Amino acid sequence: MRLVYLLVAFLLTHSTLAQTTPFRKQIDALFKQASPKPQVLLLGTFHFAGEQVDANTTPADLRVNILSPTRQAQVEEVINQIARFKPTKIAIEASPNSKNYIDSVYSAYRKGKFQGDKLVRVDDELYQIGFKLAERLGHSELFPIDAQPFRIRFSPADSLTMFTKYERQSDTTFIYWDKQYTTYSKLQDSLKYQSTVGDYLRFLNEEDTQARSIGRWLITTKKGTNREPIGADQFISRYYNRNLRIYSNIQRLVTSPSDRILVLYGNTHLYILKHLLKASPEFDLADTLGYLK
């Protein structure tokens, strides 16, 4: 009897598939383009300049000296790997308002007259990878695409105005995971210090690593109540909103279907940017780990 049931189920399944296959093919055809799509390579990085520029400051004894001969050789290896993508544009983590400044210092760099300043340090990833790769490829400019989250005046009914109301809300799981992520950050610092630049970039660009970077924010989204979901609203209005704005800046960079855009960005942004680019019908997403081999 069981054999008969399985046979009937098999026949019904295959009959259904036969009926739906033409529709699925038509649906797939809607999103296929005969012409090529712009390609994007997302390279998540750490802050080469000792991670002193944001909240993820690295202890002094674990800061990577990116200017040492050993590290410079490792950076050169990474540049060789990424150059194989043959980007036509390099997008960087800097404000579009700084475009004229970036253009001027990059022009000076190409002439051998720029050795870094307070805004573009010689030991940061923009200089070490962005400038060096752009010069090698003969690019005349780089493209700042950073964005900040929107800031508007919300109505008194909006939960974002109630942040302080839930600032001290008790949450044992948050306390637990906050400790886990604090330990994780320390382990990352040690791993970065012990690894080559290439090995650590491979670690940063792995799916699990990028998922964990957003996981630290997701433990805060239950803050508030069903009626006043301050945690979720804060995540949407700041973290997700900022990355969606960055993505829209990538969209506006496209001037040709043959564009190949390298996005050089702090790794904590990459999970959402990758999610958006994968879902977009406008782009093909390159395999970052494949280029870092």
pLDDT tens string for the chain (293 positions)?
566 565 556 555 666 666 677 767 777 777 776 578 999 999 999 989 865 545 556 777 888 899 999 999 999 999 999 999 999 999 999 999 999 999 999 999 999 999 889 889 999 999 999 999 999 999 999 999 999 887 655 555 555 556 677 777 888 888 899 899 999 999 999 999 999 999 999 999 999 999 999 998 898 888 888 988 888 888 888 889 999 999 999 999 999 999 999 999 999 999 999 999 999 999 999 999 999 98
Burial of 25 (0-12, 13-18, 19+ CB in 10 A): exposed
Sign of the C-alpha dihedral computed for residues 238, 239, 243 and 244 taken in this order: negative
Same domain, 86 and 43: yes
Instruction: Using alpha carbons, select from 159, 144, 156 the residue that is nearest to residue 92.
Output: 144
| Res 3: pLDDT | 62
Same domain, 238 and 117: yes
Quick check: is 55 in a domain? yes
Same domain, 226 and 126: yes
User: 131 near 111, Cβ under 8 Å?
Assistant: no
Same domain, 215 and 283: yes
| Res 13: pLDDT | 63
- Residue 125 backbone zone (phi > 0: left; psi -120 to 50: alpha; other: beta): alpha
Quick check: is 178 in a domain? no
Quick check: is 179 in a domain? no
- In angstroms, how far is CA 121 from the centroid of its own chain? 21
Same domain, 14 and 76: no
Same domain, 243 and 137: yes
Burial of 74 (0-12, 13-18, 19+ CB in 10 A): buried
**pTM, rounded to two decimals:** 0.86
Mapped to the 3 state alphabet, what secondary structure does 244-278 carry?
HHHHHHHHHHCCCCCCEEEEEEEHHHHHHHHHHHH
Same domain, 244 and 132: yes
Same domain, 135 and 78: yes
Quick check: is 77 in a domain? yes
Q: Which two tokens stand for residue 164?
A: 């302080």
| Res 260: pLDDT | 98
CATH of the domain at 129: 3.40.50
- At a CB cut-off of 8 Å and minimum separation 6, what does 238 contact? 149
Quick check: is 101 in a domain? yes
Looking at the structure of the chain, the number of domains it has is: 2
Q: How many whole angstroms separate alpha carbon 218 and alpha carbon 226?
A: 16
Quick check: is 182 in a domain? no
Quick check: is 186 in a domain? no
Quick check: is 194 in a domain? no
Which residues constitute the domain of residue 246? 39-151+200-291
Residue 89 DSSP SS3: strand
User: 205 near 266, Cβ under 8 Å?
Assistant: no
User: 124 near 48, Cβ under 8 Å?
Assistant: yes
